[in-house]
Structure 1
């Protein structure tokens, strides 16, 4: 690539810069004209062509060097991938060949993917069912267990060909069958009620026997209670005598250790909910309103 004004090629020292007015590439020496651009709303360095233009709304024409370069370039054959530009370098021709190969690959790939998608859809759908509407209705009727009914021909009720006497006789038969069913149900119901009443009578008789047995047991228990009262009186006399307290040991001994249940420090509080001993810090952690463990009493360890 080269500058569009001086036609000098770009390199590391001569860098390519774009004109903010027309967008074509120039070197820094040729892009040295300051002017105000409306699209940037500021001053910028532009080329000579943009500097000469007084009306910025007109179409910007490329420089003359650009047309000279296009005149030397021959349009390549799109079907031939080996064609080269007449005035282009070897790198430009190589880039052109790559672009053409990529375009052809994308076209072939697109065609192949469309064919593959169509074939996959055909395999997924498979052959369409060839059953008619009547066959489908017959299958549904067999699954439901009902007779086949065609929508085209509605089924009309069959006319009643019986005489009035035959119709009256049939109604009489139906009425008698219904009466027989009602009488049978009533007899069965009465039998069930009788059996329930007999069971209730048996339970009442058994309850009287149980009450008699209870009265006997109560009389026996009264005698046993009298014996228990005498034993209790003797025990109270022994407890009232102070001389016997030294010989008789107390039945309950306080084996409780005066330590906290959590940290084994000296206990100072007793929880009124669970009756355990705690220090002050552990009781605050143990405190729970739902279990009744929110109240406490002071604890004094025994002196012995």
Structure 2
């Protein structure tokens, strides 16, 4: 719940109070107007206070009308001045609340009159403040963002021609720059092609070997030409490639060299099932050894083509005790 006028939420520090006349909820700051009714001092809202003030000002006029009735007043029944005012409809209630909000900001004496048209600017500002965003006026947005083009046809043509000329100049500059880069790359490739190499891919030196080659330091690259720099880079890459190939060869040799295994078990010349002397080997059972009785017993329902046998002549194995 929030206050009907200032829209502040009720909480521990902002208690909810009710207007004894209109029964709406207000905070203590908005329920500060005094009104005397039935001998009691009441704290009412701005709207109820304004209605009570208007009714007090109109009371002498009604008494004068009752004291000096017109000739047609005999036919019209008189109404008591104690009849309470009728309840306002929804539009009047909203209008009175908006006027009360404006009266709080501008002061009671600067509050707009009831007959004046209301402006939505204050409401938009308050809504922006409640949302926590900056208020922006979009009344003349169409005039600012979509300004009409007041140029003549001749001016439009001249502007288009100028834009086309500028774009053409920019394209020509980019093409020249790209051509210069291509020529520079071609020169470097030509310098690399002219650099002689040995049969094994290493750069050839004056003595015919690359053992005594000393690569120049990278700090001395500033005074070298493009051709010398290309030769230097090619020599360095060749040396690095040769070293890497040598390391790869050593690692491959280490992987290929088999390590002696001491866990190889010697095959025993006995039947796998009954531990008798084996007489045949089954190819379909991972070359297991069987005697004739065990082979017939455990392969009677198997396909002979899936379990071919070869005779086992016996091997050198441990003697049975």
TM-score by shorter chain over 0.5: no
TM-score range, shorter chain: under 0.3
Q: Which has the larger radius of gyration?
A: 1
Query: What TM-score, normalized to structure 1?
Result: 0.25
Query: What TM-score, normalized to structure 2?
Result: 0.24
Higher relative contact order (CA 8 A, sep 6+): 2
